[in-house]
Structure 1
């Protein structure tokens, strides 16, 4: 499943080094760790690159080993990292997670990170020629006042913007989450999980969310395993999700966003856009990594245009 677009996508936000126990059991007992890389917006950029979409990641990392590892990892996935600033004074953010099919307990160590010091000045130096879309998330708004100002500058630019709510309650303990509705209202495409939208905006119903957000051209609401919906021009299109033997769920939302946005920019109809999102999400659900290996074309191509019965009967499993 690949999409050919005339313009690229810029994804902006923090990416951190990730430590995951390399052995089963509680984190406090772990003696061996695996280092990975995780960040919502760079995840989207990497999935887009795998779909054949030119993508660029904009952020900041520390001048440290973790920062170098992050840059190598994201660039290694085919993403342009030339607009990532290396901060000589602030560290690269870090988080620790204990992976499990039912969810992952996560501990963040990102206060004072290089990316938390991003601001409008970083946006001013970003090249916008031949950019079809800028992708951001609500995570960035929570990191600092300067990061919130950065999002304001992005949304004031002439390039279309997609905004993923990406609700992280731990980041908002000392900040006002009401800004998230104001940011989303200025975007062209808004993506949100129905559960997180309920937590932040009081409802996860697509039509009620549309009443709260009348201005974005497209509203995408994810309903977990039951599927996702698109609201456009007063019409709600719902597409059930795929049956997947979940290994670990972190990163599936970012994968869905990339699949959906690639199809959106390619001008695909709503149902095909949603299916493209579900197929990318399935790749993430089948791995413990935030960015899973893409599903083979012999799986994705038939399912994109399958009838409803075949789609409903599909069952994706991880191969040993």
Structure 2
């Protein structure tokens, strides 16, 4: 019997995001939030009604405690999280010059999360979950984090836990060559792969959407869903191939976090055993909702909210998020 729907792990940082659209040198107040791909997915899934466990190594400092308390407050199990006094919790600052022009400044080198290592991982956390969600950010943090990810992949394969892999390429953390090598290594074992088109092109060396998806299949029984931004997504399995249209966005407020919301939508639909076309459509809707609100997690909807959002134009969408 699986205890959790999803287990995920990675680095979450304290996010300082000013409310004004100005260069950072002219900003004097920074509201405190959190930002991290894996915790974004965990919170998104919790809001959609799923049981989730999230693991990280946090600094034994006020920022680390703030992150743990925030994520736990969203209904995510944080009981496996570790604290260390050997390194601080990572920080990032988000500079927004316009709704589409966003710069992110990371202060994460040598952070507490970069000290994660295979011995920190409780294998039972993976064995007790239906799905293991992996982001390509974590193996880029350090060699020990890479080894941790590969241990997680091995445990998941041995225990029959489904692996969902979102490449989440961050070239500020490592070279394209190393990213390609590691992404291919993870993709070989993954059951579901959720790349953006540029990430898929990096992994496979192919250019066209359909060719990228076919290469990622690698002759196996995988589910490939390629994110295409405002155009929606491309779904590719052994038995189904389809473009799934996105939802119109009247105003982009903050594009960061849309991919994590999309991933949460895909995983939620898989857990609900829904038809894949319907799964991707809802994931597209969540992505559209996230970009309409400031912050990484603030726009992540409840299941009721996203269902209301997907209603045909003219029907009421006045619901609590």
TM-score (norm. length: structure 2): 0.88
Any idea what the Cα deviations from partners look like across 1:185-216, whole Å, max 9, x if unmatched? 21111110113323454335133332244236
Distance 1:240 1:58 in 2: 34
1:172 to 151, 171, 174: 174
Distance 2:64 2:258 in 1: 24
Equivalence for 2:211: 207
Q: How does 1:267-282 map to 2 (within 5 A)?
A: 267-282=273-288
Equivalence for 1:191: 194
Q: How far apart are 1:59 and its partner, in Å?
A: 0.9
Structure 1 pair 231/22, CA: closer, same or farther in 2 (3 Å)?
A: same
Equivalence for 1:248: 254
Equivalence for 2:54: 57
Distance 1:125 1:212 in 2: 27
Q: How far apart are 1:303 and its partner, in Å?
A: 6.2
SS in 2 for 1:156: helix
1:142 aligns with 2:140: yes
Query: Are the aligned partners of 1:140 and 1:147 in contact in 2 as well (CA < 8 Å)?
Result: yes
2:74 to 69, 77, 82: 77
1:223 to 225, 228, 236: 228
Distance 1:153 1:204 in 2: 33
SS in 1 for 2:121: helix
Distance 2:53 2:105 in 1: 27
Gaps of 5+ in 2: none
Structure 1 pair 299/87, CA: closer, same or farther in 2 (3 Å)?
A: closer
Query: Are the aligned partners of 1:195 and 1:223 in contact in 2 as well (CA < 8 Å)?
Result: no
* Alignment RMSD: 2.7
Distance 1:146 1:22 in 2: 36
Query: Are the aligned partners of 2:187 and 2:216 in contact in 1 as well (CA < 8 Å)?
Result: no
Distance 1:49 1:297 in 2: 10
Gaps of 5+ in 1: none
1:292 aligns with 2:286: no
Query: Are the aligned partners of 1:227 and 1:238 in contact in 2 as well (CA < 8 Å)?
Result: yes
Distance 1:174 1:208 in 2: 17
Query: Are the aligned partners of 2:201 and 2:212 in contact in 1 as well (CA < 8 Å)?
Result: no
Q: Moved runs in structure 1, 4+ residues, more than 6 A?
A: none
Equivalence for 1:155: 153
Give the aligned length. 310
1:47 to 44, 49, 55: 44
